[in-house]
A = this chain, B = another copy of it.
Amino acid sequence: MIPNLQLTEDGRLRHLLTLEGLPARILTQILDTAESFISVAEREVKKVPLLRGKAIFNLFFESSTRTRTTFEIAAKRLSADVVNLNIATSAQSKGETLLDTVANLSAMQADMFVVRHASSGAPHLIARHVAPHIHVVNAGDGRCAHPTQGLLDMFTIRHFKGDFHNLRVTIVGDLLHSRVARSQIHALTTLGCPEVRVVAPRTLLPRDVSSLGVHVHHRMETGIRDADVIIMLRLQNERMQGALLPSAGEYYKHWGLTPDKLRWARPDAIVMHPGPMNRGVEIDSEVADGKQAVILPQVTFGIAVRMAVMSILAGN
Protein backbone atom coordinates (compact mmCIF):
# COMPACT_ATOMS: atom_id res chain seq x y z
CA MET A 1 0.00 0.00 0.00
CA ILE A 2 1.38 3.40 -0.96
CA PRO A 3 -0.69 5.96 0.91
CA ASN A 4 0.82 8.90 -0.96
CA LEU A 5 -0.71 7.70 -4.19
CA GLN A 6 -4.07 8.72 -2.74
CA LEU A 7 -3.14 12.26 -1.77
CA THR A 8 -2.05 15.30 -3.74
CA GLU A 9 1.15 17.06 -2.76
CA ASP A 10 -0.76 19.47 -0.59
CA GLY A 11 -2.54 16.64 1.20
CA ARG A 12 -5.94 16.52 -0.51
CA LEU A 13 -7.65 13.32 -1.66
CA ARG A 14 -6.77 12.42 -5.24
CA HIS A 15 -7.86 8.77 -5.35
CA LEU A 16 -9.70 6.62 -2.81
CA LEU A 17 -7.94 3.26 -2.87
CA THR A 18 -7.74 2.14 0.74
CA LEU A 19 -8.46 3.56 4.18
CA GLU A 20 -4.98 2.47 5.26
CA GLY A 21 -2.80 5.51 5.78
CA LEU A 22 -5.60 8.03 5.26
CA PRO A 23 -5.35 10.75 7.94
CA ALA A 24 -8.26 11.33 10.34
CA ARG A 25 -8.70 14.79 8.79
CA ILE A 26 -9.66 13.22 5.42
CA LEU A 27 -11.90 10.57 6.96
CA THR A 28 -13.74 13.24 8.91
CA GLN A 29 -14.04 15.45 5.83
CA ILE A 30 -15.76 12.60 3.99
CA LEU A 31 -18.12 11.83 6.89
CA ASP A 32 -19.02 15.50 7.34
CA THR A 33 -19.65 15.94 3.61
CA ALA A 34 -21.81 12.80 3.59
CA GLU A 35 -23.85 14.33 6.42
CA SER A 36 -24.77 17.21 4.13
CA PHE A 37 -25.96 14.77 1.45
CA ILE A 38 -28.33 12.84 3.71
CA SER A 39 -30.91 15.56 3.26
CA VAL A 40 -30.69 15.44 -0.55
CA ALA A 41 -32.46 12.09 -0.54
CA GLU A 42 -35.33 13.56 1.42
CA ARG A 43 -35.99 16.38 -1.00
CA GLU A 44 -38.66 16.35 -3.67
CA VAL A 45 -35.91 16.45 -6.33
CA LYS A 46 -33.09 14.21 -5.14
CA LYS A 47 -30.38 15.84 -7.19
CA VAL A 48 -27.60 18.37 -6.80
CA PRO A 49 -25.71 19.73 -9.81
CA LEU A 50 -22.20 19.27 -8.37
CA LEU A 51 -20.97 16.84 -11.03
CA ARG A 52 -23.05 17.99 -13.97
CA GLY A 53 -21.29 17.19 -17.26
CA LYS A 54 -18.76 14.88 -15.60
CA ALA A 55 -18.37 11.35 -16.94
CA ILE A 56 -18.08 8.59 -14.36
CA PHE A 57 -17.15 5.13 -15.62
CA ASN A 58 -18.12 2.12 -13.52
CA LEU A 59 -15.38 -0.34 -14.46
CA PHE A 60 -16.52 -3.68 -13.12
CA PHE A 61 -13.99 -6.39 -13.91
CA GLU A 62 -15.94 -8.52 -11.42
CA SER A 63 -19.70 -8.32 -11.36
CA SER A 64 -21.41 -6.82 -8.31
CA THR A 65 -24.89 -5.48 -8.98
CA ARG A 66 -25.34 -4.12 -5.48
CA THR A 67 -22.14 -2.08 -5.29
CA ARG A 68 -22.44 -0.92 -8.89
CA THR A 69 -25.99 0.25 -8.20
CA THR A 70 -25.06 2.31 -5.15
CA PHE A 71 -22.29 4.09 -7.09
CA GLU A 72 -24.62 4.62 -10.06
CA ILE A 73 -27.30 6.16 -7.85
CA ALA A 74 -24.78 8.34 -6.03
CA ALA A 75 -23.34 9.61 -9.32
CA LYS A 76 -26.76 10.33 -10.83
CA ARG A 77 -27.82 12.18 -7.68
CA LEU A 78 -24.77 14.41 -8.26
CA SER A 79 -26.02 14.90 -11.88
CA ALA A 80 -23.02 13.11 -13.42
CA ASP A 81 -23.26 11.01 -16.57
CA VAL A 82 -22.65 7.37 -15.70
CA VAL A 83 -21.35 4.74 -18.10
CA ASN A 84 -21.45 1.13 -16.91
CA LEU A 85 -18.79 -1.16 -18.30
CA ASN A 86 -18.80 -4.84 -17.61
CA ILE A 87 -15.20 -5.35 -18.60
CA ALA A 88 -15.03 -9.02 -17.79
CA THR A 89 -16.74 -9.82 -21.06
CA SER A 90 -15.14 -7.18 -23.21
CA ALA A 91 -11.75 -5.96 -24.49
CA GLN A 92 -9.87 -7.93 -21.86
CA SER A 93 -11.03 -11.11 -23.57
CA LYS A 94 -9.61 -9.78 -26.83
CA GLY A 95 -6.13 -9.98 -25.35
CA GLU A 96 -5.75 -6.31 -24.49
CA THR A 97 -3.80 -5.53 -21.33
CA LEU A 98 -5.45 -3.88 -18.32
CA LEU A 99 -3.34 -0.77 -18.82
CA ASP A 100 -4.26 -0.48 -22.51
CA THR A 101 -7.94 -0.81 -21.60
CA VAL A 102 -7.56 1.91 -19.01
CA ALA A 103 -5.55 4.17 -21.33
CA ASN A 104 -8.34 3.84 -23.89
CA LEU A 105 -11.06 4.67 -21.41
CA SER A 106 -9.00 7.64 -20.18
CA ALA A 107 -8.79 8.88 -23.74
CA MET A 108 -12.60 8.92 -23.82
CA GLN A 109 -12.25 11.78 -21.34
CA ALA A 110 -13.57 10.10 -18.27
CA ASP A 111 -13.40 12.15 -15.10
CA MET A 112 -13.58 9.28 -12.65
CA PHE A 113 -13.17 5.51 -12.63
CA VAL A 114 -15.01 3.41 -10.07
CA VAL A 115 -13.10 0.13 -10.16
CA ARG A 116 -14.07 -3.32 -8.97
CA HIS A 117 -11.55 -6.09 -9.58
CA ALA A 118 -10.97 -9.61 -8.32
CA SER A 119 -7.22 -8.97 -8.01
CA SER A 120 -5.86 -7.08 -5.03
CA GLY A 121 -4.06 -3.94 -6.10
CA ALA A 122 -5.71 -3.50 -9.51
CA PRO A 123 -7.17 -0.07 -8.60
CA HIS A 124 -3.71 1.03 -7.38
CA LEU A 125 -2.17 -0.06 -10.67
CA ILE A 126 -4.80 1.90 -12.57
CA ALA A 127 -4.37 4.97 -10.36
CA ARG A 128 -0.64 4.99 -11.07
CA HIS A 129 -1.27 5.16 -14.81
CA VAL A 130 -4.27 7.44 -15.38
CA ALA A 131 -4.04 10.97 -16.68
CA PRO A 132 -3.61 13.60 -13.93
CA HIS A 133 -7.22 14.81 -14.07
CA ILE A 134 -8.77 11.35 -13.57
CA HIS A 135 -9.76 10.11 -10.12
CA VAL A 136 -9.95 6.44 -9.14
CA VAL A 137 -12.28 4.99 -6.51
CA ASN A 138 -11.74 1.45 -5.32
CA ALA A 139 -15.08 -0.39 -5.20
CA GLY A 140 -13.50 -3.58 -3.88
CA ASP A 141 -10.32 -5.34 -4.95
CA GLY A 142 -9.61 -8.98 -4.11
CA ARG A 143 -9.24 -9.45 -0.38
CA CYS A 144 -7.53 -6.12 -0.05
CA ALA A 145 -9.89 -3.22 0.55
CA HIS A 146 -13.40 -1.85 0.07
CA PRO A 147 -12.93 1.66 1.39
CA THR A 148 -16.40 3.12 0.72
CA GLN A 149 -17.92 0.21 2.67
CA GLY A 150 -15.55 0.99 5.55
CA LEU A 151 -16.51 4.65 5.38
CA LEU A 152 -20.24 3.99 5.42
CA ASP A 153 -19.70 1.80 8.47
CA MET A 154 -17.90 4.68 10.19
CA PHE A 155 -20.71 7.01 9.20
CA THR A 156 -23.25 4.60 10.67
CA ILE A 157 -21.35 4.26 13.95
CA ARG A 158 -20.91 8.03 14.29
CA HIS A 159 -24.59 8.56 13.43
CA PHE A 160 -25.84 6.23 16.16
CA LYS A 161 -23.08 6.63 18.75
CA GLY A 162 -22.02 10.23 18.20
CA ASP A 163 -18.32 9.71 18.73
CA PHE A 164 -15.61 7.06 18.55
CA HIS A 165 -13.70 7.88 21.71
CA ASN A 166 -15.53 5.72 24.21
CA LEU A 167 -16.57 2.80 22.05
CA ARG A 168 -15.95 -0.92 22.15
CA VAL A 169 -16.40 -2.24 18.61
CA THR A 170 -16.46 -5.98 17.89
CA ILE A 171 -16.06 -7.43 14.41
CA VAL A 172 -17.29 -11.03 14.10
CA GLY A 173 -16.68 -13.58 11.39
CA ASP A 174 -14.56 -14.39 8.37
CA LEU A 175 -11.79 -11.81 8.68
CA LEU A 176 -9.48 -13.91 6.53
CA HIS A 177 -11.45 -13.39 3.31
CA SER A 178 -13.05 -10.05 4.13
CA ARG A 179 -12.05 -6.98 2.21
CA VAL A 180 -14.24 -4.93 4.49
CA ALA A 181 -12.72 -5.83 7.87
CA ARG A 182 -9.30 -4.36 7.12
CA SER A 183 -10.85 -1.09 5.98
CA GLN A 184 -12.96 -0.99 9.14
CA ILE A 185 -10.08 -1.66 11.51
CA HIS A 186 -7.90 1.02 9.93
CA ALA A 187 -10.66 3.57 10.02
CA LEU A 188 -11.71 2.80 13.60
CA THR A 189 -8.13 3.08 14.84
CA THR A 190 -7.53 6.32 12.97
CA LEU A 191 -10.74 7.88 14.23
CA GLY A 192 -9.76 7.19 17.84
CA CYS A 193 -11.76 4.12 18.78
CA PRO A 194 -10.00 2.83 21.93
CA GLU A 195 -10.94 -0.85 21.69
CA VAL A 196 -11.47 -2.91 18.54
CA ARG A 197 -12.04 -6.62 19.03
CA VAL A 198 -12.31 -9.41 16.52
CA VAL A 199 -14.09 -12.72 17.07
CA ALA A 200 -13.54 -15.66 14.73
CA PRO A 201 -12.53 -19.29 14.54
CA ARG A 202 -8.75 -19.63 14.18
CA THR A 203 -9.14 -20.82 10.57
CA LEU A 204 -10.84 -17.56 9.53
CA LEU A 205 -8.30 -15.13 11.01
CA PRO A 206 -5.42 -13.67 9.00
CA ARG A 207 -1.99 -14.46 10.44
CA ASP A 208 -1.05 -10.83 10.95
CA VAL A 209 -4.30 -9.96 12.75
CA SER A 210 -2.67 -8.97 16.03
CA SER A 211 -0.37 -6.52 14.23
CA LEU A 212 -3.49 -4.55 13.26
CA GLY A 213 -3.89 -3.42 16.86
CA VAL A 214 -7.01 -5.43 17.67
CA HIS A 215 -7.93 -7.73 20.54
CA VAL A 216 -8.43 -11.26 19.26
CA HIS A 217 -11.20 -13.48 20.67
CA HIS A 218 -12.34 -16.92 19.58
CA ARG A 219 -15.51 -17.10 21.68
CA MET A 220 -18.52 -14.83 21.28
CA GLU A 221 -19.10 -14.54 25.01
CA THR A 222 -15.84 -12.74 25.69
CA GLY A 223 -15.69 -11.00 22.33
CA ILE A 224 -19.12 -9.40 22.49
CA ARG A 225 -19.26 -8.62 26.23
CA ASP A 226 -20.15 -4.95 26.79
CA ALA A 227 -19.63 -4.07 23.14
CA ASP A 228 -21.27 -0.86 21.86
CA VAL A 229 -21.09 -1.88 18.22
CA ILE A 230 -21.18 -5.38 16.69
CA ILE A 231 -20.20 -5.75 13.06
CA MET A 232 -21.13 -9.15 11.63
CA LEU A 233 -19.26 -10.21 8.49
CA ARG A 234 -20.79 -12.23 5.69
CA LEU A 235 -19.78 -15.90 5.56
CA GLN A 236 -19.34 -16.61 1.88
CA ASN A 237 -20.99 -19.78 0.62
CA GLU A 238 -17.77 -21.28 -0.64
CA ARG A 239 -16.31 -21.14 2.88
CA MET A 240 -19.19 -23.17 4.28
CA GLN A 241 -18.37 -26.04 1.98
CA GLY A 242 -14.61 -25.68 2.33
CA ALA A 243 -12.11 -27.21 4.71
CA LEU A 244 -11.99 -24.18 6.97
CA LEU A 245 -15.28 -24.84 8.73
CA PRO A 246 -17.12 -27.90 9.98
CA SER A 247 -20.55 -26.81 8.68
CA ALA A 248 -22.89 -23.85 8.42
CA GLY A 249 -24.85 -25.24 11.36
CA GLU A 250 -21.75 -25.47 13.55
CA TYR A 251 -20.76 -21.94 12.54
CA TYR A 252 -24.19 -20.62 13.50
CA LYS A 253 -24.03 -22.39 16.87
CA HIS A 254 -20.71 -20.83 17.84
CA TRP A 255 -20.45 -17.53 15.95
CA GLY A 256 -23.92 -16.78 14.60
CA LEU A 257 -25.46 -13.74 16.29
CA THR A 258 -28.60 -14.87 18.10
CA PRO A 259 -30.77 -12.88 20.54
CA ASP A 260 -29.17 -14.88 23.37
CA LYS A 261 -25.63 -13.95 22.43
CA LEU A 262 -26.63 -10.36 21.73
CA ARG A 263 -27.59 -10.02 25.40
CA TRP A 264 -23.90 -10.13 26.31
CA ALA A 265 -23.41 -6.77 24.58
CA ARG A 266 -24.50 -3.43 26.01
CA PRO A 267 -28.28 -3.01 25.90
CA ASP A 268 -27.96 -0.10 23.45
CA ALA A 269 -25.46 -1.86 21.20
CA ILE A 270 -26.05 -1.59 17.46
CA VAL A 271 -25.72 -4.53 15.07
CA MET A 272 -24.25 -3.99 11.59
CA HIS A 273 -23.81 -6.22 8.53
CA PRO A 274 -22.43 -5.30 5.07
CA GLY A 275 -24.97 -7.54 3.26
CA PRO A 276 -26.04 -9.72 1.62
CA MET A 277 -26.97 -11.60 4.80
CA ASN A 278 -27.04 -15.35 5.28
CA ARG A 279 -29.91 -15.58 7.72
CA GLY A 280 -29.45 -18.54 10.02
CA VAL A 281 -25.73 -18.71 9.36
CA GLU A 282 -23.88 -15.64 10.62
CA ILE A 283 -26.99 -13.86 11.87
CA ASP A 284 -30.37 -14.92 13.23
CA SER A 285 -33.45 -13.42 11.62
CA GLU A 286 -34.70 -12.14 14.97
CA VAL A 287 -31.51 -10.07 15.32
CA ALA A 288 -31.39 -9.05 11.66
CA ASP A 289 -34.93 -7.64 11.87
CA GLY A 290 -34.66 -6.51 15.50
CA LYS A 291 -34.52 -3.08 17.08
CA GLN A 292 -30.76 -3.04 17.47
CA ALA A 293 -30.04 -3.78 13.78
CA VAL A 294 -28.96 -0.78 11.69
CA ILE A 295 -28.33 -2.80 8.56
CA LEU A 296 -30.73 -0.92 6.29
CA PRO A 297 -29.56 2.53 7.48
CA GLN A 298 -26.07 1.38 6.46
CA VAL A 299 -27.33 1.00 2.90
CA THR A 300 -28.94 4.43 2.92
CA PHE A 301 -25.84 6.07 4.37
CA GLY A 302 -23.77 4.27 1.73
CA ILE A 303 -25.30 6.44 -1.00
CA ALA A 304 -24.48 9.65 0.89
CA VAL A 305 -20.92 8.49 1.61
CA ARG A 306 -20.31 7.63 -2.06
CA MET A 307 -21.72 11.02 -3.08
CA ALA A 308 -19.30 12.60 -0.61
CA VAL A 309 -16.27 10.72 -1.94
CA MET A 310 -17.08 11.54 -5.56
CA SER A 311 -17.80 15.19 -4.94
CA ILE A 312 -14.64 15.67 -2.86
CA LEU A 313 -12.52 13.97 -5.54
CA ALA A 314 -14.06 15.98 -8.36
CA GLY A 315 -13.53 19.19 -6.42
CA ASN A 316 -9.82 18.50 -5.79
Contacts and interface: CB of A to CB of B under 8 A. Distances in A.
A115 to B, nearest CB: 15
B47 A52 contact: yes
A114 to B, nearest CB: 15
Interface in A285-303: 296-300, 302-303
Contact of A300 (B41, B65, B109): B109
Contact of A104 (B94, B104, B109, B299): B299
Given A53-B46, A95-B237, A66 B303 contact: no
A303 B108 contact: yes
Contacts of A4: none
A218 to B, nearest CB: 26
Interface residues of A, number: 53
A307 B52 CA distance: 18
Given A94-B237, A104-B299, 13 more contacts: A47-B52, A55-B73, A65-B89, A69-B108, A70-B108, A76-B83, A100-B275, A100-B279, A103-B296, A104-B276, A107-B297, A108-B300, A108-B302
A35 interface: no
A52 B49 CA distance: 13
Contacts of A90: 63, 65-66
Given A87-B65, A89-B63, A109-B41, A104 B296 contact: yes
A284 interface: no
A81 interface: yes
Interface in A54-70: 54-55, 63, 65-66, 69-70
